[in-house]
Amino acid sequence: SLLIHLFENGIEAKVRHPLSIFEQPNLISSYSGSCFNAKKLTKTSLSLPIHYNLQKHEINYVIKAICNYLDSN
């Protein structure tokens, strides 16, 4: 997966929200519907390194790592 590829290239990426809000244990009993988009986003979203101290070459490194992954898959 992309997450593993980034980790193997020394890039800290994380899944920040593995459950959508309506799936949280303390809210699940108060919601009876299904939020397909919310579920999809929790399965396909990654948090990439982003902060004001990132240097341009570090940003380019992350971009290249993602492009390399996409090109090989």
What tokens were used for 48? 């990439």
Among the listed residues 9, 8, 24, the one whose alpha carbon sits nearest the alpha carbon of residue 64:
9
- Is the Cβ–Cβ distance between 66 and 2 less than 8 Å? yes
Helix (H) or strand (E) holding 46: none
The tens digit of pLDDT for each residue in 16-57 reads 777 777 777 776 666 666 777 877 888 788 899 988 999 999
Q: How far apart are CA 5 and CA 70, in angstroms?
A: 10
- Is the Cβ–Cβ distance between 45 and 15 less than 8 Å? yes
- The whole-number average pLDDT for the span 44-73 is 94
